[in-house]
A and B are shown apart, each in its own frame.
Chain A
């Protein structure tokens, strides 16, 4: 049996974040009463015409700029004709011939050997990304069906990759990278549960070494990360088995059934729709001003992985921390806001965010992590707490309870310390020296190592001294005293 290699291309649909719809001023939204986000244009009333939402175009261009796509001088609109009750006009306005973004590349990170180790990075190439309007939503009942057109006309960006992907893990990593970058830039919320990000996957397999591509299966509407992963893995296994048995795979559209955990045929290539595309005569081709493209480019946030590399180099933050704060837009912002107030100790600040803040959020009442919007602790207050530690006014040990109180109440560290009488006690020099001598006596090897140039060896005294002082010892003073004794 030959070994197979999967060849995968994704079509990712992303709802763009705009106040109003793609071609009219009706508002966009989720979870509103059925058909409340509509008007005559959305409903396809006779005589209505589409008018471009410039905001949607700018969001699409932002996408292209994030991923190094070419933004053509001119793009146009086409009609895709097909009948379905969720489509008010029975044609969809889309970009068949001249899309808003050409080419592009997405950096992805594959899972590392363990959670706290960075995985391999790869670049996945994009074919193009085009704008189109979303359709409504059908709900089926035993006898009839109802249509909600709230979603109809929402700006949708369809991102089409080259067949660059070779595993379900890579496909998932691509979705995660796109999502992180688009959320960061405010282009889309990419919430798959709300249908803001949807995925079709084209999968084929071929014997390793074979150049030519085999027929592919297109799987529609993979609406969760797990769905994408399972459907692709299923399809790779299925096609491999077909070839193993000497069979051939037909090019077709397949439906993923998440409950049964398998795909089944929807329609073959011969049955494919003829969409009778033609340029939309109601919308003129768009010549988007170049200087505005440059403005949008200048306003883009830093790339996620670029920021991660910068944090590692500039602040010496480890992967375990950067993978938490850089991959989450809100945490990254929290860190940046904190740094603006007190930028002297990025490591400690980042640690509090990646560890303590995340721990408290996960332990807060309610389902899942407490949303950042509901977190009372402000980045400014946390930065001032770190500053108190740096100034020796607060120890990390004392800060543990202070932090929890800050998280629960939103109060400043200084206020909590004043209220509760928490302070770093003036150290009795004699008492401190005694703790240090006791500690060195208990572990003379570390002192020897320190004398031989291993500065970190001194850290092994911290634990016992803190224990002996019941957390009251000022780390800075402890350190100075230890060095004095060892070097004496």
Chain B
């Protein structure tokens, strides 16, 4: 009993795993279906930086052989997963969509990719992103634009724009992205998919090219809560190679999802509904709140008083850490080396000048400035103090509510080029997501409908530390009652 291509593309990752288990289909058939779809549709979307048919099929055949021998590595053996191009797998590119890394291939496999491989999953190409994950539209990629599959004049969001667009376009059942200030959730909202940012420390950062070390987390994007929970469980857990990884035991989110639970209380922060929010987003948020009320949830207005400080605080901490993290890209040991340099010091100037794009340079300069002697106390130190206040806002709120409900973004997907000349307005695209990173909390963006122009709208649920399971129960309650069934046209054509 085979599956035709459109059935494969529409199936959830877990349904594919089940079909593999039942012998209804092979990994090769699954991968071929997605490869065909991506090869056909990605010229329009531009989600993939690299996708090699032979490599994918070779891994798929190896998986099929394991299944035939009854030696599959996990129930997910043979299911493809595509990775953002900042997550290290030995021998694969790790460009971070930057010219400075270009065709650089990772000499090692990071912890997250290692866990996928140990589960027998098939690495399915490298996904486009904003250069070094800096941006909210994937327009900062040095190599190509990624287009929103719902309307190719619009941006897919960023920085994990390739990860979100690939899922929405049905080029892959699920993907991994990274989220430093909203880089999974914002593109998930723009592309109408589910995107999860885990609690800081739940997923190892060993093998994730650092943007801002105290904020970065790898997380899954998929088309259902259950898929996202499952992929989260594969990549979660303590890693001795990451000192910031949480050493305690974690309850698998996918298990918790199936446990009986009662509706609870959702907090709606009043600070998130001020000026600058698109009326259509507000309308959708009303609908979502009502949907939860219908499901038996209590909606409670809460206050997160330091919200307005989140954007400046974030841009101080994130750029400071980035300015130091990106120092290693210098043209000495690996990465682009300028031909023009006159001496060792000039080699740095020329190589970095040629290798980094404008947004990366802007942030490195800003970050170097806030760490400078004489400015450190006024900026970086103060930002760390404010960060504690922001976290305390959330922890106080969680004394009264189970999770916090907000829009993921203030507007639906903007047009490509619309904000490239105005970095501040681009930074504000993350206004609802960055507090979550500063506070180290888990959050998920859920698709909840389309605007009149057929652009997706997403809402965000923010959970308590390491309570991804509970947060996803709440997300799934909405998903079951109001499944998001719309397709981008590109995906329908496939």
Contacts and interface: CB of A to CB of B under 8 A. Distances in A.
B320 A51 contact: no
Interface stretch (B209-217, B249-257, B398-406): B209-217
A47 B243 contact: no
Interface stretch (B50-58, B259-267, B367-375): B367-375
Contacts of A52: 243
Interface stretch (A118-126, A208-216, A275-283, A461-469): A275-283
A343 B163 CA distance: 77
A339 B47 CA distance: 77
Interface stretch (B10-18, B169-177, B330-338, B464-472): B330-338
A79 interface: yes
Interface of B: 86-88, 94, 96, 101, 104, 106-108, 110, 205-210, 212-214, 240-244, 320-321, 323-324, 327-330, 332-334, 344-345, 348, 368, 371-373, 376, 380
Contacts of B240: 51
A40 interface: yes
Contacts of B101: 46
A46 B213 contact: no
A280 B88 CA distance: 22
A223 to B, nearest CB: 22
B110 A83 contact: no
A281 B214 contact: yes
Choose among A43, A50, A282, A283 the residue with the greatest number of B CB atoms under 10 Å from its CB: A282
Contact of A85 (B320, B334, B344, B368): B344
A45 B244 contact: no
23 contacts: A43-B333, A45-B106, A45-B107, A46-B96, A46-B101, A46-B328, A47-B208, A48-B108, A48-B206, A49-B205, A49-B206, A49-B241, A50-B243, A51-B243, A85-B330, A88-B333, A89-B328, A90-B327, A90-B328, A281-B213, A281-B244, A281-B321, A284-B243
A310 B332 CA distance: 55
Nearest to A282: B213
B178 to A, nearest CB: 11
Choose among A43, A51, A79, A281 the residue with the greatest number of B CB atoms under 10 Å from its CB: A281
Contacts of B345: 83
Nearest to A38: B333
Nearest to A145: B344
8 tightest A-B CB contacts, nearest first: A90-B327, A276-B371, A281-B213, A281-B214, A46-B209, A44-B328, A40-B108, A47-B88
Given A89-B327, A282-B243, 11 more contacts: A44-B333, A45-B334, A46-B209, A47-B209, A49-B205, A49-B206, A49-B241, A49-B242, A49-B243, A276-B323, A281-B244
B320 to A, nearest CB: 6
A480 interface: no
A51 B239 CA distance: 11
A391 interface: no
Contacts of A85: 330, 332, 344
A276 B324 contact: yes
Contact of A278 (B205, B207, B324): B324
B320 A278 contact: yes
A278 B107 contact: no
Interface of A: 40, 43-52, 79, 81, 83, 85, 88-91, 145, 147, 274, 276-278, 281-284
A284 B94 CA distance: 27
Contacts of A88: 328, 333
A91 B324 contact: yes
B88 A46 contact: yes
Contacts of B328: 44, 46, 88-90
Contacts of A49: 205-206, 241-243
B380 A278 contact: yes
Contacts of A90: 327-328, 330
Choose among A43, A44, A50, A145 the residue with the greatest number of B CB atoms under 10 Å from its CB: A44
Contacts of A277: 371, 376
Contacts of B372: 274, 276
Choose among B104, B106, B328 the residue with the greatest number of A CB atoms under 10 Å from its CB: B328
B243 A283 contact: yes
A91 B209 CA distance: 16
Contacts of A147: 332-333
A89 B321 CA distance: 13
B337 to A, nearest CB: 12
Contacts of B334: 45
Contact of A276 (B108, B241, B373): B373
A121 to B, nearest CB: 40
A328 B93 CA distance: 55
Contacts of B108: 40, 45, 48
Contacts of B242: 49, 51
Contacts of A145: 344
A308 B242 CA distance: 47
Contacts of B344: 85, 145
Nearest to B333: A43
A91 B321 CA distance: 12
Given A44-B333, A88-B333, A276 B368 contact: yes
Contacts of B94: 46-47
Contacts of B368: 276
A76 to B, nearest CB: 12
Contacts of B327: 81, 83, 89-91
Contact of B110 (A47, A274, A282): A47
Contacts of A278: 320-321, 324, 371, 376, 380
B330 A83 contact: yes
Choose among A49, A79, A284 the residue with the greatest number of B CB atoms under 10 Å from its CB: A49
Choose among B87, B330, B376 the residue with the greatest number of A CB atoms under 10 Å from its CB: B330
A139 to B, nearest CB: 13
Contacts of B330: 83, 85, 90
Contacts of B87: 47
A399 B380 CA distance: 74
B96 A282 contact: no
